[in-house]
Amino acid sequence: MISIYWFKMSNYLAVFWPSSDARCTMAEHFHLNTPLLESVRMSRRVGTTVYLKMENSQPSGSFKIRGIGHLCRQLARQSKGVVCSSGGNAGMAAAYVARKMGLPATIVVPSSSPRMVIQRLQDEGAAVKIIGKVWDDANAEALRLAETEGLTYVPPFDHPLLWQGHATMIAEAAASLGPSVRPGAVVVSVGGGGLLCGVVQGLKDLGWTDVPIVAMETVGADCFNAAVRAGRTVTLDDITSEAKCLGAKTVCKQAFEYSQCSELTIISELVTDQQALHAVETFLDEERVLVEMACGAALAAVYTGLIRRLQDEGRLPTPLGPLLVIVCGGCSVDMEQLSDLRNKLRT
Ligand code: PLV
């Protein structure tokens, strides 16, 4: 009885009063080494082994913590606080990391962020500001606050330190696959392009630049696809997709430059919101894991038969080596949100 009480008490103390000791003895990094799971059902669909890099199981609910943890370690140690603009998940990562570092966090989100995300950010101890309609509006405010309040600005996708942090997921996946296996292709979602840049960086670090990347977006949150088609970065008029966490109006310059690089194969593809939602639902049914629409875009590459089509078109090799799917995760989803999306997208 006494020991249970003490356990609860010490937990409570650790959570609410991070001591100066806790600040000094922080672990090497904030992210976890996530599982690499083989999916039998998805493998059957694609005709090659599908491996899922389960970034949904990160403490902040998505891969974002890799890059943001790395960036904050480098830039925010002496800071009086951090400010991050976000569709939701970058904010969750920044709030988590700031709490662990004993720093205040301000997260600026657009009005399109679901109420539940705002609640989760507040539960992490962050101050939340709701500014504008899309991420770009929120970002302008975050930059202003960084300037006027002297806070450390944490970008959600456009910074080399973020890409370095994200690259660790590829090194981990390679370690899980073992020395004799390399992926036939990697599937990622693209919002502002930070994840894509991290994956490219990770492949480069391993000398795997010949591994093609399938870069997935939804129609209406497709700034990377628009840039690839135009041959230059393009600013979308609006974000009309429900995959709000893919909703940057302009892709970062580095992601665009990688798309033009002859050393790399990056295949940019789109799915509809309906297809992304169907992927989220199928993934929940078959793998028992709930992810948000932003992640559904990547999963839809498997569930819509896109990978097979790319093989038929000769844009991916046949036979194809193991397919590495980055399950980027996301916390902007719960059962209520899922049923709202169903109603919205099925009428
Ligand atoms: N979300 C960013 C940008 O939003 C954010 O603020 O959270 N998958 C999930 C679950 C994401 O949350 C994001 C980005 C992506 C994929 C795409 O990553 P990116 O932006 O690095 O390409 C506007």
The pLDDT of residue 191 is 98
Contact 190, 224 (CB under 8 A): yes
Mean pLDDT along residues 126-154: 97
Structure tokens at 316: 């991916």
Query: What DSSP designation does 151 have?
Result: P
Contact 241, 221 (CB under 8 A): yes
What b/e sequence results for 84-121 when a residue is b if at least 16 CB atoms lie within 10 Å of its CB, and e otherwise?
Answer: bbbbbbbbbbbbbbbbbbebbbbbbbbebbbeebbebb
Which residues sit opposite 51 in a β-bridge?
Answer: 38, 324
Mutation test residue for ligand 1: of 55, 166, 187, 189, the one with most atoms within 8 Å of CB = 189
The pLDDT of residue 12 is 38
Q: What is the pLDDT of residues 191-217, one digit of tens each?
A: 999 999 999 999 999 999 999 999 999
Structure tokens at 193: 């392009």
pTM of the model: 0.92
Question: How many whole angstroms separate alpha carbon 108 and alpha carbon 38?
Answer: 37
The pLDDT of residue 6 is 41
* Ligand 1 atom at minimum distance from 89 CA: 7
Question: How many whole angstroms separate alpha carbon 139 and alpha carbon 87?
Answer: 10
* Ligand 1 atom at minimum distance from 190 CA: 22
Measuring from each residue's beta carbon to the nearest atom of ligand 1, which residues come in under 6 Å? 62, 64, 86-90, 135, 156-157, 189-196, 245-248, 292, 294-295, 328-330
**Three-class secondary structure of residue 188 per DSSP:** strand
Q: What is the pLDDT of residues 3-42, one digit of tens each?
A: 444 434 444 333 333 333 344 345 679 999 999 999 999 9
Distance 131 CA to ligand 1 centre (A): 18
Query: What DSSP designation does 102 have?
Result: T
Q: What is the pLDDT of residues 32-75, one digit of tens each?
A: 999 999 999 999 999 999 999 999 999 999 999 999 999 999 99
How large a percentage of the chain has pLDDT more than 90? 91
Residue nearest to atom 17 of ligand 1 (CA): 191
